[in-house]
Amino acid sequence: MRRWLVVVVTSFLTLCGGSCFGGTSYTSPAVELHVIDQDGDPVSDALVLLTWKVAGPHDVTIRYLHIFEGRTDSGGRLSVPKWGPEWVTDGVLASDQPHLRIFKSGYLPIFDQNSPGQAGYRTGPVISVKWSSSPVALMKVSTTTDQYKKALRNVALTLKFYVDDQQCLVREAHEMVDEIRAELARVGADHPYPIWLMPNRAGC
């Protein structure tokens, strides 16, 4: 009886999409990432951060519905578990969610959006993630080049803009923040965006 009730309630919530209760229900299937270099070889130990942001008017960040951080294995692969359904009543999940960041020293870091150019907001309930369908390629570069330093600064800025350390949202993405901060200092790329622009999780 209990199993039957759980199945019925889950099916109802999925079909309803949360709208029956003044919100939206979101679910993300499992994501299988494959990170390679420009020659098609796997990139192991690459740090990956996926964030699903709940936004209000004018795309102002309200909170993060889900955050995942992990590293690729020796074959350049990383499995991101399925999550949801989760109700959202205080905002919406924008159509470009999740956002993907990948970092490994010696490769151009990546910041990418799930659906660039797609207007409006998702109405739910299932989020399709484009990176499951094809490998994500990183480019090998010298860490002394301006190209590398610029890409590093750009990823650092996305972490500042999209992670509000006033609410300590960075606590679940601490490896990415710490490694980007350290790399900025190591290669001298903190000008004109000093390291203090990066979130400081000391108070979390």
- C-beta of residue 18 within 8 angstroms of C-beta of residue 88: yes
Among candidates 112, 75, 76, 115, which has minimal Cα distance to 95? Answer: 115
49 has pLDDT over 90 = yes
132 has pLDDT over 90 = no
Radius of gyration of the chain (CA): 18
Spatial separation of the C-alpha atoms in residues 130 and 33, rounded to whole Å? 10
Domains of the chain: total = 1
Crossing angle, helix 174-187 and helix 146-162, to 10 degrees? 150
Reduced to 3 states (helix: H, G, I; strand: E, B; else coil), residue 71 is: strand
Q: Provide the CATH number for the domain around residue 115.
A: 2.60.40.1120
- C-beta of residue 194 within 8 angstroms of C-beta of residue 93: no
Q: What percent of the chain has pLDDT over 70?
A: 71
What pLDDT sits at residue 196? 46
- C-beta of residue 122 within 8 angstroms of C-beta of residue 97: yes
Residue numbers of the domain that contains 67: 2-203
pLDDT in tens, 147-186: 999 999 888 888 765 455 444 455 567 788 889 888 988 9
